[in-house]
Structure 1
């Protein structure tokens, strides 16, 4: 049996769920959720259809040292929820800043999970950033509300290439000083 390496990344606890580092055993549930076009089309990097090996490679990168992105699983086991309900990440930028990225499995949409996860990540500020940024697609106003609920301020419009849509998609960009 393979030993699961937990990288030097803190667990961020809330009453309802924990944000914990990825484990290789998360692969099956992440693949199931990331294969859903509703999830893939709201991220910039998840292809649809999901090619074999994509999530395994993602987990390997997320567990590597050094790495540019820290990824946490939204793990609801402590309150009777699912072990993987979504993912949230911080990608390191220059000048002590990070970009927040997240997705929630459709079964947990409209449960405030994303809002609670973003707020927990902001409160913990695990990379001790001076600021965090995030971008959401114009056709995903629920994710924009998640950010404004966590104190992010609208900066402006841009566009980001979406692999699943094979197109540049208009985005709203937000920031939060810490």
Structure 2
């Protein structure tokens, strides 16, 4: 089976496993021939969820994917399976990537040469809203909030999530993301 056909076959087998686990199948790659075949699967949370796929879920789904792939005759029994999540280095290239990055610090490089950096607070079908980080007028002085910036998705040349090691997400994403139910 040719590589594109095998990749499509792997995708067809893996996608139901991912969906059953509540995950989105982001990418499938199949490289090599014979016992040197490497199958790379990238899984992500549903686009409306914020956070990351945890390692326990990746491990569980990896076993289920391996079992499913064992039924593909075209794969050598000694293929290497790599299952991962997109990680922080994934560029923001599709609307679902922006929805997944809500609440995160992002940098957007625009086609006109400008860059916008701030918290991604809202994603609409054609635009995203970024809240720039507050700035201090003077060193040690009070910070001054800056107004949110709306950016058309069509104006974004490149976008990426900035890695933050010490900040917890504290952005209010609105009522649709509130999991708390009012109890009377």
TM-score normalised by length of structure 1: 0.28
Q: Which protein shows a greater Rg?
A: 2
